[in-house]
């Protein structure tokens, strides 16, 4: 059977259930775009910038059963996309990166876009593949998909030279895709060891990350069986519903909200699921992790790294948690409802929120009141897409997320500009639910022109732009030690002008009184398929628990000499103005 390489690639992607590709046509991939245009099951999405396309692919993978796929040209197309690929790599998100390659059937060097693509991709992908023969196209794409979705997920890179795409070649027998099965169960001895620790626990606690994203039922059953409080990582802050009485919030150490700090203060056995115990999740490694730690993660390289585990289980939470739940139920009866614990959690949450209500926002929008109004105006399954900055931690601390996998955020790569295009990928993944984007004005100006893509494809998204004129997460960190804010004060951007340029509807919220009517108006316009940009005059003067906790944690690590230098410089600059 003779077919072009572009045809073979399209066949493979259709077999794999790919529904969207993201990118921009160029010299080395026009043949593939022509084939994708003929597909009845794949929609090739034109983006404004390949970086935006990569963030869209990332969000699509996080929120759907299909894998986000890029189709880009080498060199500039690939380098533009690198931030989104890197985000997927560090956050454990599957992605196929299909890149046209320069022609391999000609003797010339220094072709357009020619560079060592694989060396460039090596550090931000799980694997790279160079396809050299027509008959290898389908098997290689199948293998790349397995690599992207097996173990800890991540992006893979495939170079498909232009000449293979353009010209027919012998394909051989076309294989059919067979979806991989779940990995083998954990050893019974490991499950028994975990159960033994949990049986003896007086104050167990759960720390839940993105790796538990498909295990809400099991996590809930385990927590209720043990009456254990549940905290989450930042990336996993939608893994356990805020409405559950055992939910405490994001983190559990000095940088966590009071409900989590207090519930975990005397934790003697911790069950950590699907987390690396990374810097953000641990408040700059400021947490105290019990010696009796049970750590379950799909990537064995995350175990016994930052915090040693008494029981370390390398396995898929979808397999291990049902094992653990069954064994625990057999070993011990369910604990009676811990009314005292649940009441303390509820009281701490209420007190923390009231501290925000009591804060004088001086006529600007109070963050807690914003998130209360947003929550009230949207169904539990509405998706929240967050960017990187002060608004990230405000959302994690103040926005009650009520259903699993209904909020996503860039975490370990921490790419600013993520949320505007990622919201587009989220809407493609969940077309029947509202999608709200929370983005700071600094992040917004990085990728705001990508909203043109939402306008072009009639995707009714609502972008809430938190405007304070600064890169506030960093400016807050600068203010205390430096008494100045170098390169974090932003030039004015006319948000209404951006809205007009990209074809979005524009609204503004200047005070708390405008929240309910303007959010309702935004939802009404978005329901018609037009994106909406809502400029929010946010008050950032009150710091989040995360910001205050991280600053204290890092300051406490300084030597006496370092503390003295930092304090004296801050005092001197304060006095000098």
Backbone dihedral angles phi then psi of residue 141, each to the nearest 5 degrees = -65, -35
Indicate the SS3 state at residue 534. strand
> In the predicted model, is pLDDT for residue 490 greater than 90?
no
pLDDT band at 84 (very low <50, low <70, confident <90, very high): very high
Domains contained in the chain, CATH given: 2-170 (3.40.50.970), 188-344 (3.40.50.1220), 359-546 (3.40.50.970)
> In the predicted model, is pLDDT for residue 29 greater than 90?
yes
User: How confident is the model at residue 557, as a pLDDT?
Assistant: 87
Beta bridge partner(s), residue 205: 270
If one compares 58 and 562, the residue with the highest pLDDT of the two is 58
Instruction: For residue 219, give the nearest of 118, 143, 324, 126 by alpha carbon.
Output: 324
d(CA 308, CA 295): 9
Residues 234-249 have a mean pLDDT of 97
pLDDT band at 480 (very low <50, low <70, confident <90, very high): low
Average pLDDT, the chain: 95
Instruction: For residue 160, give the nearest of 180, 189, 131 by alpha carbon.
Output: 131
User: How confident is the model at residue 567, as a pLDDT?
Assistant: 73
pLDDT band at 188 (very low <50, low <70, confident <90, very high): very high
Residues 186-207 have a mean pLDDT of 98
pLDDT band at 576 (very low <50, low <70, confident <90, very high): low
> In the predicted model, is pLDDT for residue 36 greater than 70?
yes
Ranges 100-104, 126-130, 157-161, 526-530: which has the least confidence: 100-104
pLDDT band at 483 (very low <50, low <70, confident <90, very high): low
Question: Which tens digit of pLDDT belongs to each residue from 267-314?
Answer: 999 999 999 999 999 999 999 999 999 999 999 999 999 999 999 999
> In the predicted model, is pLDDT for residue 343 greater than 90?
yes
User: How confident is the model at residue 270, as a pLDDT?
Assistant: 98
d(CA 46, CA 423): 15
> In the predicted model, is pLDDT for residue 121 greater than 80?
yes
If one compares 172 and 50, the residue with the highest pLDDT of the two is 50
Question: Which tens digit of pLDDT belongs to each residue from 353-391?
Answer: 999 999 999 999 999 999 999 999 999 999 999 999 999
User: How confident is the model at residue 228, as a pLDDT?
Assistant: 98
Taking the model in full, what pTM does it have? 0.95
pLDDT band at 414 (very low <50, low <70, confident <90, very high): confident
Question: Which tens digit of pLDDT belongs to each residue from 45-74?
Answer: 999 999 999 999 999 999 999 999 999 999
pLDDT band at 429 (very low <50, low <70, confident <90, very high): very high
What is the DSSP-derived secondary structure letter of residue 180?
P
What is the DSSP-derived secondary structure letter of residue 434?
-
Torsion of CA 372, 376, 382, 383, to 10 degrees: -10
User: How confident is the model at residue 551, as a pLDDT?
Assistant: 85
Going from the C-alpha of 139 to that of each of 73, 133, 153, 228, the distances in angstroms are: 22, 11, 19, 46
Going from the C-alpha of 414 to that of each of 34, 69, 82, 420, the distances in angstroms are: 35, 21, 13, 14
If one compares 112 and 503, the residue with the highest pLDDT of the two is 503
Torsion of CA 315, 318, 319, 320, to 10 degrees: 60
Question: Which tens digit of pLDDT belongs to each residue from 548-559?
Answer: 999 889 888 888
Ranges 100-104, 151-155, 205-209: which has the least confidence: 100-104
* Cβ contact 219:230 at 8 Å: yes
> In the predicted model, is pLDDT for residue 566 greater than 70?
yes
Q: Please list, in sequence order, all residues whose beta carbon lies within 8 angstroms of the beta carbon of residue 335, skipping any fewer than 6 positions away.
A: 225, 226, 227
Residues 38-47 have a mean pLDDT of 97
User: How confident is the model at residue 472, as a pLDDT?
Assistant: 75
Residue whose pair of structure tokens reads 């005070």 in the numeric block: 511
Share of the chain above pLDDT 90, in %: 87
User: How confident is the model at residue 363, as a pLDDT?
Assistant: 95
């Amino acid at each position: 059977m003779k077919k072009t390489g572009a045809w073979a690639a399209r066949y493979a992607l259709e077999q794999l259930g790919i529904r969207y590709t993201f990118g921009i046509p160029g010299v080395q991939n026009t043949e593939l775009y022509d084939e994708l245009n003929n597909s009845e099951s794949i929609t090739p999405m034109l983006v404004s910038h390949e970086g935006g396309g990569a963030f869209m692919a990332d969000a699509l993978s996080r929120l759907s059963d299909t894998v986000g796929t890029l189709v880009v040209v080498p060199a500039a197309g690939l380098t533009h996309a690198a931030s989104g690929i890197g985000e997927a790599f560090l956050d454990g998100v599957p992605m196929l990166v299909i890149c046209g390659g320069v022609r391999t059937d000609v003797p010339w060097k220094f072709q357009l876009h020619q560079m060592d693509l694989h060396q460039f991709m090596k550090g931000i992908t799980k694997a790279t593949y160079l396809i050299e023969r027509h008959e290898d196209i389908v098997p290689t794409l199948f293998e790349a998909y397995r690599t992207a979705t097996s173990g800890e997920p991540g992006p893979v890179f495939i170079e498909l030279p232009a000449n293979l795409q353009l010209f027919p070649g012998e394909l051989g027998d076309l294989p059919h895709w067979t979806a991989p099965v779940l990995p083998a169960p954990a050893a019974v001895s490991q499950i028994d060891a975990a159960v033994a620790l949990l049986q003896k626990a007086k104050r167990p606690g759960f720390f839940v990350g993105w790796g538990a994203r498909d295990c809400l039922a099991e996590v809930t059953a385990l927590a209720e069986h043990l009456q254990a409080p549940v905290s989450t990582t930042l990336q996993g802050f939608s893994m356990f519903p805020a409405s559950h009485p055992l939910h405490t919030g994001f983190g559990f150490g000095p940088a966590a909200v009071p409900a989590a700090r207090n519930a975990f203060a005397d934790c003697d056995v911790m069950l950590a699921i699907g987390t690396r115990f990374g810097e953000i999740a641990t408040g700059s490694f400021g947490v105290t992790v019990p010696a009796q730690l049970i750590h379950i993660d799909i990537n064995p390289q995350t175990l016994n790294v930052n915090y040693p585990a008494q029981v370390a289980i390398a396995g898929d939470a979808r397999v291990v948690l049902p094992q653990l739940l069954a064994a625990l139920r057999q070993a011990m009866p369910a604990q009676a409802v811990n009314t005292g614990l649940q009441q303390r959690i509820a009281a701490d949450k209420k007190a923390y929120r009231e501290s925000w209500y009591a804060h004088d926002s001086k006529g600007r929008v109070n963050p807690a009141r914003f998130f209360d109004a947003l929550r009230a105006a949207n169904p539990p399954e509405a998706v929240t897409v967050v960017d990187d900055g002060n608004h990230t931690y405000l959302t994690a601390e103040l926005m009650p997320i009520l259903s699993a996998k209904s909020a996503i955020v860039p975490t370990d790569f921490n790419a600013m500009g993520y949320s505007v295009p990622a919201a587009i990928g989220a809407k493609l993944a969940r077309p029947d639910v509202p999608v709200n984007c929370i983005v700071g004005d600094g992040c917004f100006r990085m990728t705001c022109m990508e909203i043109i893509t939402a306008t072009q494809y009639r995707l009714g998204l609502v972008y809430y732009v938190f405007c304070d004129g600064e890169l506030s997460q960093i400016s807050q960190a600068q203010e205390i030690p430096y008494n100045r804010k170098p390169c974090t004060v932003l030039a004015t951007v006319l948000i209404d002008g951006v809205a007009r340029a990209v074809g979005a509807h524009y609204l503004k919220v200047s005070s708390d009184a405008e929240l309910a009517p303007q959010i309702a108006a935004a939802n009404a316009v978005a329901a018609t398929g037009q994106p909406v940009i809502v400029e929010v005059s946010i008050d950032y003067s009150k710091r989040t628990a995360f910001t205050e906790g991280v600053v204290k944690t890092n300051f406490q690590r300084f030597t006496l000499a370092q503390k003295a230098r930092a304090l004296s410089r801050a005092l001197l600059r304060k006095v000098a103005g």
